[in-house]
Amino acid sequence: MALILCLETATDVCSVGLSQDGRLVALQESEQGRDHASQMTLLIGKCAEQAGYRLKDLDAVAVSSGPGSYTSLRIGWSTAKGIAYVLGIPLLSVDTLQALAWGAASRFQLETAWYCALIDARRMEVYAGVYEANGNRISGPEALVLDSGSFGYCLEGGRTAVFTGNGAVKFQPLCSEPNAVFIPLEASAAFLPALAEQAFQSGRFAEVAYSEPLYLKPPNITKPKSLI
């Protein structure tokens, strides 16, 4: 059993949690856009104070692996790696989409449903992953452009498909199937503890020096206009 710091920075929400034995014991979040660099240290301190722990008490640090915002993911990973290195504790990588699906499954509680986690990837694109209630991956992670036929395989035979994440709002107007359910959840460190504990207990540690998040797409860099 372990005390794990959980960091979720794949989207506009900067989220920090502490878990004890796979159970969330503290949570601090900021929704100030992608200002994660200035918020992360503050939220970690508040989280430790809320739970009554110090950073030196940690057994591991878990960070969401993406996909998501290029810059935001890098901030989360650099923070997690720094803590893991300084404290000499394991680094755990948790699939952002799987964690989102876990959050939806824990609320909807239908074992036969498929849980489709969607993260906004600009315009009509999303990062998508489909999972069973027990966390087994059906498809993804992948980047795709949404249309009315997206995720048809998830709804075949009347199967209930639960769509969640900040990208689900893009798909809802395109989907008229009665067996499609939409649960408004944002990526959050609150959904990492169970998966992080599993990774810790099974010894699935990420390499501190060389591991990287899953970007799927290159960063969206806009070239400055020429002054000449």
Give ∠ CA 178-120-164 in degrees, rounded to 5: 35
Yes or no: say if 128 and 118 are a contact pair by the CB < 8 Å rule: yes
Q: Taking all residues of the chain, what is their mean pLDDT, rounded to a whole number?
A: 93
The answer to the question of residue 71 being in a domain is: yes
The pLDDT of residue 150 = 96
CA distance readout (Å), 24 to 4, 93, 132, 209, 213: 9, 17, 22, 28, 23
Q: Is the pLDDT of residue 223 over 90?
A: no
Confidence at 36, pLDDT banded by 50, 70, 90: confident
The answer to the question of residue 118 being in a domain is: yes
Both 73 and 36 in a single domain? yes
CATH, residue 44: 3.30.420.40
Task: Print the domain residue range for 126.
Answer: 96-183
Q: What is the pLDDT of residues 177-211, one digit of tens each?
A: 999 999 999 999 999 999 999 999 999 999 999 99
Q: What is the mean pLDDT of the segment spanning 142-155?
A: 95
Q: Is the pLDDT of residue 228 over 60?
A: no
Both 13 and 88 in a single domain? yes
The answer to the question of residue 226 being in a domain is: no
Yes or no: say if 63 and 77 are a contact pair by the CB < 8 Å rule: yes
Q: How many CA atoms lie within 13 A of 106 on its CB side?
A: 13
Confidence at 15, pLDDT banded by 50, 70, 90: very high
The domain total for the chain is 2
The answer to the question of residue 42 being in a domain is: yes
Confidence at 227, pLDDT banded by 50, 70, 90: very low
Most confident of 31-35, 118-122, 224-228: 118-122
Q: How many CA atoms lie within 13 A of 26 on its CB side?
A: 21
Yes or no: say if 128 and 117 are a contact pair by the CB < 8 Å rule: yes
Both 141 and 77 in a single domain? no
Give ∠ CA 131-164-143 in degrees, rounded to 5: 70
The answer to the question of residue 152 being in a domain is: yes
What is the reported pTM?
Answer: 0.91
